[in-house]
Structure 1
């Protein structure tokens, strides 16, 4: 026979109702054990003597590159962080973050940039197709260079270059290059924006529609002047928004 609350004593029924409500409330308000650790740049120290101080709880140092970013001939560390793997779902998506530091003469490291949006994560929907499934990041010619390559039917490659801005003491977005290509049609569009010079160039390589064999390719080029706009910094770049806006598949 199926028992309902009507078949139970009043005190027992009330107790069961109270326990059920408490369980539902706790399950809705408390995160599970595998909840991701949000990256909070403001929680990082402004200055410290060791790079380990800039790795927050719940994160690991995945990679470190160095180079002179402010022209003082000192090696400035750039940290690539990744979330610690979940004990219950080790293959689940893990976010990445980047922290840019400047080394001074006293041996201290000053944080000048930090963001959890400028790099693709590991696992999940991020369609990285690089050999090590990781964005390319390096210091080249005094700039921080971040490059992503992703896509399936279409390829999207975008490269951001950041330069240290002495006025704001932050990493300014100096230039951006986006290359979209279709593997089937071989149609490729390259858009290069130089924010320091205020110039933009768009180039396109595509098949000649008049060629029945589809072997001949045509090219077009357009130069433009960028409208004046406020400076953008490393924290303003959101790679997932860029990918979504590109419309690649």
Structure 2
């Protein structure tokens, strides 16, 4: 028994060395200098501050004026790989730029706590970069990212532009975790417009579904911390 306990501690220690806790890694994350991002500019590249670069530029109408707007997925401007050809850890940020029919560009949102870093995908992604997918569908900005090893967690956020506040409100959050060995699944889906939250627990032939109404909460893109959201949903599901 003592030998088993010692081996368990050793395995845990080695795992911490190889894949540091996400929370610890995020404590030292690089922060984007929001004050250095102009409120208005003549070109998309002007919204990228020093020390960062555009990893992906997504275009689509976000405020209903039929003019393409931009979601700029930024990444730290440093080497993507080390001398061993292994992906380095680089933080990400998201800048939303709206454009009117006259071609004027203005900053609508900036966050550096929503997108996971390039090495925050866990053992599932090994030495390659972890994704943080950003897309625009029917005026909704969608962010989807996953991470894990044996247990894989997927998080999806949906934001919609709110004209009265000129901010992007969170309208939906979906969470899914699956044990890739046992295929057990737990999911939670929250509609922030209606306050309806649905959960699902699938374990073998035993599927449990529940639906309840939770207090409506107004959250904006800048309020969303990916790590905190996952911590809270994991507690609710008992994951």
The two structures have a TM-score, normalised by structure 1, of 0.74
Select which of 54, 76, 94 maps to 2:47: 54
The equivalent of 2:176 in structure 1 is 179
The 5 Å alignment of 1:93-104 reads 93-104=89-100
User: Is 1:147 aligned with 2:147?
Assistant: no
Does the 8 Å contact 1:37/1:58 carry over to 2? no
Unaligned runs of 5+ in 2: 1-27
The equivalent of 2:15 in structure 1 is none
The equivalent of 1:221 in structure 2 is 209
TM-aligned CA deviation for residue 79 of structure 1:
0.3
TM-aligned CA deviation for residue 120 of structure 1:
0.8
| Separation of aligned partners in 2, 1:50 and 1:127 | 36
User: Is 1:43 aligned with 2:36?
Assistant: yes
The equivalent of 2:62 in structure 1 is 69
Give the paired residue count.
204
TM-aligned CA deviation for residue 186 of structure 1:
1.6
| Separation of aligned partners in 2, 1:65 and 1:73 | 15
- Per the alignment, in what secondary structure is the counterpart of residue 31 of structure 2? coil
Does the 8 Å contact 2:121/2:131 carry over to 1? no
Deviates more, 1:131-140 or 1:105-114: 131-140
| Separation of aligned partners in 2, 1:83 and 1:132 | 13
TM-aligned CA deviation for residue 177 of structure 1:
0.2
Does the 8 Å contact 1:81/1:97 carry over to 2? yes
- Per the alignment, in what secondary structure is the counterpart of residue 175 of structure 1? strand
- Per the alignment, in what secondary structure is the counterpart of residue 35 of structure 2? helix
Does the 8 Å contact 1:189/1:202 carry over to 2? yes
- Cα 1:176–1:128 change in 2 (3 A) is farther
| Separation of aligned partners in 2, 1:240 and 1:38 | 15
Which entry has the higher C-alpha Rg, 1 or 2?
1
- Cα 1:112–1:128 change in 2 (3 A) is farther
User: Is 1:192 aligned with 2:185?
Assistant: no
The two structures have a TM-score, normalised by structure 2, of 0.77
Unaligned runs of 5+ in 1: 1-34, 208-216
